[in-house]
Structure 1
Amino acid sequence: MLRHWEDAGLLAPRRDGAGRRRYRDEDTETVAMILLGKRVGLSLDELATLFAEASDRTARRALLRAHRDQLVRHIAQATAALETISHALDCDAEDFRSCPHFQAKVAHALAPAAGADRSELPSAVTGRSRRRV
């Protein structure tokens, strides 16, 4: 892994006379920052941008802001998923699929697929009776 990070330009250990890598304390700190960055979901390219001396504060902040916004969206999606699963587990209905709350979630999930024309959806999903032509 260290060689991969070195190839990506994130790590630059010193070499001894025989060409062997000699890691210093600052390399250990860089490894810790890479691990932390990976843990929060940053790519190696993003980390390289953050670590680059030529990268200005505005560029670093823009990258971090974009990543934060992405995390906020993921957290919202995960929270909604957790609430749906929790409701299904705690639902008093014999079959959670018949629960009006769950059916509303299904209808909401189908809405983008149906576009503006919800007439194609079954009445159980839309809550409206279908008109016969």
Structure 2
Amino acid sequence: MRSTERDGTIGIGALAGRFGLAAHVLRHWESTGLLAPARDAAGRRRYGPADVVRVAVILRGKEAGLSLEAIRTLVAGDHRVRSEVLRREAEELRARIAAAQASLALVECALGCAHEELTDCPHFRREVAERVRVDRSG
């Protein structure tokens, strides 16, 4: 029976493979304090169920556009600091979502345009002009 079956832990390769990551990503996260795996008698990293959850949290945070520093604060910071970071990150996410929605509107406008030359389309020109106004004021 392998030690992974006996003690419920897995090695770095197995954990990385489970999430489709390269092992060096997990080592990097460890070096930044996001992960702290146990070590076996030979010094090899051993990841338990809590580490698996932590990797999922890190990946979810990265998908949301959070920095590793923000993710570290989320998982290790106190409630007050965590709330401050989350408020700031929520603001930034709202701004990115608004920008993505504006970009999507522009693309959809262009897709639906019947004009031979896109810049001749009054609706497309309004969309572009609105984007320029937003960029200048923001």
Q: What interval of TM-score do these two structures reach, taking the shorter chain for normalisation?
A: 0.7 to 0.9
CA distance in 2 between partners of 1:114 and 1:30 (Å): 40
Give the structure, 1 or 2, with the largest relative contact order (CA under 8 Å, sep 6 or more): 2
CA distance in 2 between partners of 1:74 and 1:99 (Å): 27
Deviation >6 Å, runs of 4+:
112-115
CA distance in 2 between partners of 1:114 and 1:59 (Å): 32
Match of 1:69 in 2: 91
C-alpha deviation, 1:95, in angstroms: 2.1
Count of residues paired in the alignment? 113
Partner amino acid, structure 1, of 2:120: S
Pair 1:113–1:20, CA change in 2 (3 A): closer
C-alpha deviation, 1:113, in angstroms: 8.5
* Higher mean displacement: 97-106 or 1-10: 97-106
Match of 2:49 in 1: 25
Q: Deviations over 1:71-126 (max 9, x none)?
A: 111111111111111112212333221112222233344557889xxxxxxxxxxx
Match of 1:2 in 2: 26
Question: Structure 1: where are the runs of 5+ without partners?
Answer: 116-133
Question: Structure 2: where are the runs of 5+ without partners?
Answer: 1-24
Partner amino acid, structure 2, of 1:85: V
Secondary structure, counterpart of 2:50 in structure 1: helix
Matches within 5 A, 1:12-91: 12-52=36-76, 55-91=77-113
Identity %: 46
* Higher mean displacement: 104-113 or 83-92: 104-113
Match of 1:118 in 2: none
C-alpha deviation, 1:65, in angstroms: 1.6
The reply on whether 1:105 has 2:127 as its aligned counterpart is yes
Q: Who wins on radius of gyration, i.e. which is larger?
A: 1
Pair 1:33–1:98, CA change in 2 (3 A): same
Please give the TM-score of this superposition, normalised by the length of structure 2: 0.71
CA distance in 1 between partners of 2:135 and 2:65 (Å): 29
CA distance in 1 between partners of 2:63 and 2:105 (Å): 25
